[in-house]
Structure 1
């Protein structure tokens, strides 16, 4: 059975364009039909670019291919961008109904590189208020809905990006992640994702732990977006130096032979030691990946917990103060428009002293130091395998998987550390629960070994 153009991978599209078997206009037309069938019910888009704009971009790419002068090998491939990735002239409300949206005058590095590569931008995808929910709830947008089952969460904060990927709105989607916001929706929507090394993809507003990264149905599409987006940019003073990375050579090892985990030292981490411990099905899926790596020649070692609840509480407290600073500047009338869960969570930062805030901030450094020490303690691991989240997709009506008793952030225990150490961490869809909910597994690499993580993810994709 043939695959419709909208559902092809980026590499298949690119090869079709280069060989004259497929055209960017044909693909864009089909993608727009898929989007039309899903929106506005799925509510993946904050700004859905006009079809005429999208088709004009596709036609320009088609003409470049016809002239033998594509802007890149990915010229004409569709992409979506999360709403907090600045696009000149496109308002950025950060998912919140209470604020007057910032309207950027220039593109962010991510948006600019998509344009420079000829990618066909479809629009800007939704997120929850200030990015502080792991769900599709937003005071500005309403609820973003999972195309797998409307009763299941989408995850967040890259909720719209994840839904666009899962619904087949083209192959490439860019999210952002500060503690799990790419990887959580990916695992709950059955996707692949990569939180790149810190500085690998430049940002227009760098912030501790924050990255932009790819979400897709295929690991190969993650590699295509890394090929477009990675590299230094003067706007981001934290961006990494230029590096020649063969992003799409996912089957090739360092010796030029087929990639294999043989000889790698791999940690398996299934007991967090803080937050909420993972459910049995999640542990089983993680161990199945570790067992397969062992069968292929990797040395797999158990990794014991190295963090405690105090570290997570400190990070949570600092984020509460940061959001309280935003909330407190709003009038009472505007504050009432913020999502209730986010507003109540932020208000817990009110009244903290400067000493309290500095103690909370020190939790980040404590987390970094302990995590780096644990990695070295286990013999300088090549990879680490863990759950992404403690649970499969939770009920869609909840703003967080564990919203009560102060446990709002307790589900980011497996994802948060790697934002702070800057290590690449990706997810891959590996299994299903008895009721059909996806279960993803996280694979973490050494600092800067994004390509190694992608190769390991591809090995385990369903």
Structure 2
């Protein structure tokens, strides 16, 4: 569907809604109602929401409407229908965290990212699904069932921001907060045909303890790069409350940066597989086609691998230790453990066996990886590679094909290295496989140069927009 021909508010982007609110041609209340209607219509097929809060949403939309009428919006995304991943607490909504051990009473606290989104005036529609404590790259578990891929509902949405990506793909709201500790924004963006960015660690500060430390980035999932840039304008910047990482000043205007997006003369290192992973032929062909398109648009493309070996073992030491600590903090009884995701319990047990020396050794791998990539970016503005080696796997499994491997991250080799380095990484849709499932193209930039990857993705999306869904496709 052509973006310019839209008349249905539910099909609009955040940027388009902003223009309509400013001109008085539509109101935030109408936009909220359109989004809530889409949730009511589509969500039963995909299970993307943990909670939907129509009363709270309409009250916030009314307040936004009054601000626009006065000509005093808090930001361009004032009134934008927005969802929050259930790992982030939202006042008035139980902080479920994908777990039977999550809260059942409305939260009274919020994190800094929520304070900033509230400061921008967004309308919160509800919270989107995550696997238990966000532990894996697919969104299903014993407590709350399975979040399904809207392009084919017998396939996985990806995770752990699965609900956010599905909501983005179906435009159940226009801005969707997610988080990414090993690929959790980019995996579902790729599987669901949405745009996702894991910003450089530090731009969106973490003001709350996390056992993942600097692996866990928060960021947006949206239909368009432009909407993600508007989300970042509202949420990036330093704070004395930052527990980890660092945010430089001044903060760029991300939205302005993509308006002049051109790939001409941008030097891109193109890696087919990082030198060690296997890629599904349909995916490889789509990424190859994207490389050719970018070259035709004036980018300088050189085929090269960054030159590091698979850092999965180091990632698992950091990840399992963190998940063990997360489970330990909720302190489940033996009876409660039986209600939890068995895969999470397995890595909790494994995580407890790592020594402090194992952890320090893994941290050194991470440090070396940062240097390898920083040296790579001395020569290249960006790295381009597939987001995922495969399109969406079967729904409801941790391992495709029923063959259990070392860890779920076996099938996402292109995402977690860049959590370890803290670099900005995006996934932008670049085609479909033979079965009609979306394929994601990943750009990785130097630390704090999110403007580069946003501009590349914006220019590519403008030149080669992919189809969007008007309803879930049942599989």
Q: Shared topology, TM-score over 0.5?
A: yes
Q: CA deviation at 1:405?
A: 2.7
Query: 1:180·1:412 contact (CA, 8 Å) conserved in 2?
Result: yes
Deviations 1:146-175 (A, max 9, x none): 222111110000011111111221211110
Q: How does 1:48-447 map to 2 (within 5 A)?
A: 48-49=52-53, 51-98=54-101, 105-205=108-208, 207-237=213-243, 238-250=245-257, 252-253=259-260, 259-274=261-276, 276-304=277-305, 306-309=307-310, 311-327=311-327, 329-376=331-378, 379=379, 381-401=380-400, 404-447=404-447
Return the alpha-carbon distance in structure 1 between the equivalents of residues 247 and 327 of structure 2: 33
Query: 1:201·1:239 contact (CA, 8 Å) conserved in 2?
Result: no
Return the alpha-carbon distance in structure 2 between the equivalents of residues 281 and 288 of structure 1: 11
In structure 2, relative to structure 1, the CA distance for the partners of 1:7 and 1:250 (3 Å cut) is farther
Q: CA deviation at 1:449?
A: 1.6
2:11 maps to 1:10: no
Q: CA deviation at 1:47?
A: 2.2
Query: 1:133·1:400 contact (CA, 8 Å) conserved in 2?
Result: no
State the partner residue of 2:468: none
Return the alpha-carbon distance in structure 1 between the equivalents of residues 7 and 139 of structure 2: 29
Q: CA deviation at 1:103?
A: 7.1
Deviations 1:273-315 (A, max 9, x none): 34x4211221222222222222222221112252224x21121
Return the alpha-carbon distance in structure 1 between the equivalents of residues 429 and 280 of structure 2: 16
Higher mean Cα deviation, 233-242 or 192-201?
233-242
Q: CA deviation at 1:425?
A: 0.9
Return the alpha-carbon distance in structure 2 between the equivalents of residues 350 and 176 of structure 1: 24
Query: 1:250·1:458 contact (CA, 8 Å) conserved in 2?
Result: no
Q: TM-score, normalised by structure 1?
A: 0.91
Q: CA deviation at 1:387?
A: 0.5
Return the alpha-carbon distance in structure 2 between the equivalents of residues 114 and 44 of structure 1: 21
Deviations 1:199-240 (A, max 9, x none): 111223262121111101111111111121111222214341
SS of residue paired to 1:278? coil
Q: CA deviation at 1:440?
A: 0.8
Deviations 1:21-48 (A, max 9, x none): 1111111111111111123442222221
Higher mean Cα deviation, 208-217 or 231-240?
231-240
Query: 2:198·2:217 contact (CA, 8 Å) conserved in 1?
Result: yes
In structure 2, relative to structure 1, the CA distance for the partners of 1:341 and 1:251 (3 Å cut) is closer
SS of residue paired to 2:351? coil
Return the alpha-carbon distance in structure 1 between the equivalents of residues 90 and 339 of structure 2: 25
What stretches of structure 1 of length at least 5 have no aligned partner? 254-258
SS of residue paired to 1:194? strand
Higher mean Cα deviation, 57-66 or 200-209?
200-209
Query: 1:24·1:59 contact (CA, 8 Å) conserved in 2?
Result: yes
State the partner residue of 1:22: 26
SS of residue paired to 2:405? coil
Deviations 1:395-444 (A, max 9, x none): 11212447613142123321122222222111110101111000010011
Q: TM-score, normalised by structure 2?
A: 0.89
In structure 2, relative to structure 1, the CA distance for the partners of 1:55 and 1:327 (3 Å cut) is closer
Return the alpha-carbon distance in structure 2 between the equivalents of residues 357 and 383 of structure 1: 30
Return the alpha-carbon distance in structure 2 between the equivalents of residues 126 and 291 of structure 1: 37
Deviations 1:109-141 (A, max 9, x none): 111111111110111111001211111213332
Query: 2:159·2:188 contact (CA, 8 Å) conserved in 1?
Result: yes
What stretches of structure 2 of length at least 5 have no aligned partner? 466-475
Deviations 1:375-396 (A, max 9, x none): 44xx2x1111101011011111
Return the alpha-carbon distance in structure 2 between the equivalents of residues 352 and 425 of structure 1: 29
Return the alpha-carbon distance in structure 1 between the equivalents of residues 361 and 248 of structure 2: 33
Q: CA deviation at 1:252?
A: 4.5
In structure 2, relative to structure 1, the CA distance for the partners of 1:342 and 1:419 (3 Å cut) is same
Q: How many residues align?
A: 451
Query: 2:149·2:155 contact (CA, 8 Å) conserved in 1?
Result: yes
Query: 2:45·2:153 contact (CA, 8 Å) conserved in 1?
Result: no
